Structure 1
Amino acid sequence: MIVAPATRDLEILAGKMTQWLGERLPGAGDIRLTDFSYPKGAGQSHETILFDARWFENGAERAQGYVVRIKPSSFTVFPDNLFDEQYQLMKMLSDGGYVRVAKPLWFEPDAELLGAPFFVMEKVKGRVPVSHPPYAKSGWLSEATPAQRRHLWEGAVRQLAAIQRVPLSEVPFLAGPDHARDGLAQEWDKYTRFVEWVKDDPRAEILEAGRQRLLALWPKNQPEGVVWGDARIGNMMFDENFDVVAVMDWEQPSLGGALQDLGWFCTLSETMHGKTSQMGTYLDGMGSRDETVALWEEVSGKSAADLEWYEDFTQLKMACTGVRMDGMRGTQMSTADGLRVRLKLA
């Protein structure tokens, strides 16, 4: 059973969005919206729909691709609703030129039109290294040359590190509750609440044991910084030259510290194209964990000391999400023994 947000009648959506878009393009006439579709491999937490628009303005025909992203309602993977913050962060990153993201254009807080608030951003053209099937085993990245993969890997790490150049004064809206407003405390509070959120699952005791293990090994190095939240190559889009054109899926941002994303990125890289992948070795051309850490430190100007702890924290985060998704599927794909191994409890 695949868990994903509910879909909708795209013809009805086209009619609604035509009028809505016309109100935001006051000089446009004869607006025509076409090619509505759900992107392949997307939809794990947000309903996301692609479409194209054509119109006439000042006697000339114009065209633009768009993406509409709709706030989750009944389908919620995470305990925190950060939909507004997601849009604000993307707009700040785009306006400031800090990180390559799809340009956010409009935010609609009124739920009347689509049943929930939504925002629209420009559609970016490119290719995404998908997880299913694994990008290291099949598809365009597996068929690329080692030099092309090296170029892609370096660009990806540089964009990851560029997030840490964002001044925290630009993102006060990402602050957490009063008792955990920023830094490691904010991310720790989030996942402490996540463990509590899934407490009715029989594996919740394993999650709590993992949390207690991490608490006993609390890291000394806690550099400040913005958290992307799902830092991986599979959430980046690349052009034909293997350059990053967009960093995507900012749905769980915070001020939780620089090493949150690096820990997540390294963990997922090892799983998808590294030593713990199906191949058992690095995909030729893709940087190793040590190379990733070295380049990240060089570009970000921050220390990756104690990264192993943040990688273990990543495993707890992923375990929480897996348990939540299992509960939504009505299955238990993440076994108790598997969780113990992941959380270093066995």
Structure 2
Amino acid sequence: MRSPNADLLERGAVRAAVARWLGDMTGEVIAPTIVDTRKPDTSGSSHDVTFLTARFSDGIVREFVLRRGIDDQALFVDADLAREAQLMDVVHRTGGVPTPELVGFNPDPSVLGTPYLVMARVPGNVAPDAPSYNTSGWLADAAPVERRDLWQQAMHLMTRVGTVDLNELVGLFPDRQGLHAEFDHWWRNTLWANDGAPSSSIAEAFDQLRATIPPDTTAALSWGDARIGNIIFDSGSAATIIDWEMASLGGAYLDVGWWLMTDLVHSTQMGYTRLDGLGTRRETIELWCAATALEPDAIAWHEAFAALKLGVTIGRMTRVAHQRGLLSDNLLTMVEDNLGTRILAALLEVPPRA
């Protein structure tokens, strides 16, 4: 299915309008010419991504990524592209964690139907979701010793996220600072995603996790969607982190919990063997604890919380796809029975369906 954004950018007037804005954002007197647009091989479910190639008046050609939200496909109750743009800009400017340079955010929906942001495109490869990086692709083709080095680099990037200075970030997440506030946020998100009536198994899982929640954490930046597939690798290095849509100030444990859970999803949960060189659960925890100087005690709880969040998110994706006519009625069972809820059931012994 073609993206409406791709169609719009094929229209001369729309392409010219984006080019003029791009020129303003880059300080050009003469607007660049957008000479090519194309879609990535994969894209997120709640946003639309287009790669732009622009030629400037001095003849230099630059690559950009345009990303816009899709209002009727939002996965999260507080989806906010403007906040994500601000976050990316702060993280990039502080220099503690590599992330693409933000070119600008345009709140005006008149050109593309929704606001959009543009960032510099970072060259390199990402570990694919489909087919899983554990089965084929550039990472599977690499030697185990090379994969080991890339995994360690990726882990160290992830651990650095929690060290970002919060001075410019606190205002972006007024009600998502610390673990307990983030947990409450996800309950609100779950009610929204399920029209106020989540399944009994999801509600029971929240009750179990609430009863065993670790002591509250000091606010620290959490990447949110912390996984190897959201890192761009280039020339043997982990070059940059992408996709901050799930970010919060809920603390570093959120990221290691999500990392471990998504590693499980892309390996044993799908029936695949983890590639030699990629860290096991134990190795991941050991490296994370050594790099952050944090204790491992609360990690298991955060893994379960991550599985719960994944289950809720897949459920929301299922509802959206069904509403758009992309999913048949019989597949609506995935709202309650999906990868996330199955992992959660194994961890908490909660049946995946009501």
TM-score (norm 1): 0.89
* Aligned residue type for 2:169: V
Whole-angstrom distance in 1 between the partners of 2:222 and 2:36: 34
Contact 1:186/1:254 (<8 A) preserved: no
Partner of 1:318: 310
How many pairs align?
336
Contact 2:19/2:31 (<8 A) preserved: no
Partner of 2:36: 35
Higher relative contact order (CA 8 A, sep 6+): 1
Contact 2:23/2:31 (<8 A) preserved: no
Q: Report deviation, 1:41.
A: 1.1
Q: Report deviation, 1:28.
A: 4.9
User: In the superposition, relative to structure 1, how do residues 3 and 305 fare at CA in structure 2: closer, same or farther (>3 Å)?
Assistant: farther
Q: Report deviation, 1:191.
A: 1.1
User: In the superposition, relative to structure 1, how do residues 211 and 106 fare at CA in structure 2: closer, same or farther (>3 Å)?
Assistant: same
Whole-angstrom distance in 1 between the partners of 2:9 and 2:37: 6
Q: Report deviation, 1:266.
A: 0.9
State percent identity of aligned pairs.
Answer: 30
Deviations 1:224-261 (A, max 9, x none): 421111111111111132x1112111012111111111
Mean Cα displacement is larger for which, 334-343 or 307-316? Answer: 334-343
* Aligned residue type for 1:251: E
User: In the superposition, relative to structure 1, how do residues 186 and 52 fare at CA in structure 2: closer, same or farther (>3 Å)?
Assistant: same
Q: Secondary structure at the match of 2:86?
A: helix
Partner of 2:325: none
Q: Secondary structure at the match of 1:33?
A: strand
Contact 2:217/2:250 (<8 A) preserved: no
Whole-angstrom distance in 1 between the partners of 2:2 and 2:199: 21
Whole-angstrom distance in 2 between the partners of 1:3 and 1:191: 32
Partner of 1:278: 271
Q: Report deviation, 1:36.
A: 0.4
User: In the superposition, relative to structure 1, how do residues 5 and 196 fare at CA in structure 2: closer, same or farther (>3 Å)?
Assistant: farther
Whole-angstrom distance in 2 between the partners of 1:5 and 1:27: 28
Whole-angstrom distance in 1 between the partners of 2:19 and 2:90: 27
Q: Does structure 1 residue 97 correspond to structure 2 residue 95?
A: yes
TM-score (norm 2): 0.87
For structure 2, the 5+ residue unaligned runs are 323-330
Mean Cα displacement is larger for which, 247-256 or 300-309? Answer: 300-309
Whole-angstrom distance in 1 between the partners of 2:261 and 2:26: 44
Contact 1:201/1:327 (<8 A) preserved: no
Partner of 2:63: 65
Hey, which bits of structure 1, 4+ residues long, moved more than 6 A? 2-6
* Aligned residue type for 2:276: D
Contact 1:5/1:43 (<8 A) preserved: no
Question: What is the correspondence of 1:1-346 to structure 2 with a 5 Å cutoff?
Answer: 7-12=6-11, 13-29=14-30, 31-57=32-58, 61-177=59-175, 181-200=176-195, 204-220=199-215, 222=217, 224-241=219-236, 243-273=237-267, 275-279=268-272, 281-330=273-322, 331-332=331-332, 334=334, 336=336, 339=341, 342-343=344-345, 344=348, 345-346=350-351
User: In the superposition, relative to structure 1, how do residues 5 and 259 fare at CA in structure 2: closer, same or farther (>3 Å)?
Assistant: farther
For structure 1, the 5+ residue unaligned runs are none
Contact 2:159/2:291 (<8 A) preserved: yes
